């Protein structure tokens, strides 16, 4: 199985018996979220980060998860800075139509730069 959000939290805060909302916050992730596929409510221990940038549940992650925490971190780093201005907190994700029947996601910066996810 791919890594869960909790695996990522573990890599940030270290091994503990119990992980709290504070641990998740310290790692920059939420403790609860929704599955992108089926909209089920999922918590960090059964939420799988996907390459789309959204969380998915065990049933919906398919092959879009990350095999290792380092892959997830590298992906996050790659999408967290604008290639034009270098800002990290001005970026939003936008759903776009990429073809007649296809939809995808792009990242958009407040400076006007748009690039594929």
Give the binding site for Zn ion (CB under 5 A). 35, 37-38, 57, 60, 82, 84-85, 109, 111, 113
CB of 15 to Zn ion, least distance (A): 28
Closest CB to Zn ion among 17 and 89? 89
- Strands (DSSP E) found in the chain: 32-34, 41-43, 48-49, 55-56, 91-97, 103-109, 114-116
Taking the least distance from each CB to Zn ion, the nearer of 11 and 76 is: 76
Min separation Cβ 71 and Zn ion, Å: 21
Closest CA to 53 of 23, 22, 91: 91
Residue whose pair of structure tokens reads 């936008």 in the numeric block? 94
CB of 109 to Zn ion, least distance (A): 3
CB of 9 to Zn ion, least distance (A): 20
User: Taking a C-beta distance cutoff of 8 angstroms, is the pair 30, 21 a contact?
Assistant: no
Is there a contact between 1 and 56 (Cβ–Cβ < 8 Å)? Answer: no
Cβ proximity to Zn ion, 32 vs 38, nearer residue: 38
Nearer to Zn ion by Cβ, of 9 and 91: the residue is: 91
H-helix segments, the chain: 5-13, 21-27, 69-79
């Amino acid at each position: 199985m791919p890594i869960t959000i909790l695996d990522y939290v573990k890599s940030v805060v270290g091994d503990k018996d119990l992980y709290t909302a504070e641990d998740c916050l310290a790692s920059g992730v939420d403790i609860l979220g929704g599955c992108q596929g089926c909209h089920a409510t999922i918590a960090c221990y059964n939420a799988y980060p996907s390459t789309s940038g959204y969380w998915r549940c065990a049933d919906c992650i398919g092959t879009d998860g990350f095999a290792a925490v380092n892959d997830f971190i590298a992906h996050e780093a790659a999408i967290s800075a604008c290639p034009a201005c270098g800002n990290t907190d001005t970026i939003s994700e936008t759903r776009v139509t990429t073809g007649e029947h296809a939809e995808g996601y792009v990242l958009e910066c407040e400076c006007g730069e748009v690039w594929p996810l």
